[in-house]
């Protein structure tokens, strides 16, 4: 860590930038279905997200419906 000084302010800067957040690298990883609010394994969600910006993750078509 090094100290940077300027006439108006002083700040600390890290010489090493932290890596970006490793999304999906921790197992088990689950995503929340936006329609049924059920947790679904990320392996089942990724193929659906590759072809669309929005996808229902829960394969149960009756889930999330109220009568």
Instruction: Give me the pLDDT at residue 63, please.
Output: 81
Q: Which two tokens stand for residue 8?
A: 């108006």
- pLDDT tens digits, one per residue of 7-40: 555 555 556 666 666 666 677 789 999 999 999 9
pTM to 2 decimal places: 0.54
Q: What is the DSSP letter of 30?
A: E
- pLDDT tens digits, one per residue of 33-48: 999 999 999 999 999 9
Instruction: Answer for the pair 39, 32: CB distance below 8 angstroms, yes or no.
Output: yes
């Amino acid at each position: 860590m090094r100290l940077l000084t300027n006439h108006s302010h002083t700040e600390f800067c890290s010489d090493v930038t932290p890596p970006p957040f490793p999304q999906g690298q921790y197992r088990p990883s689950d995503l929340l279905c936006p329609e049924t609010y059920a947790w679904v394994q990320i392996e089942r969600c990724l193929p659906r997200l590759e072809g669309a910006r929005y996808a229902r993750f829960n394969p149960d078509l009756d889930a999330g419906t109220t009568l």
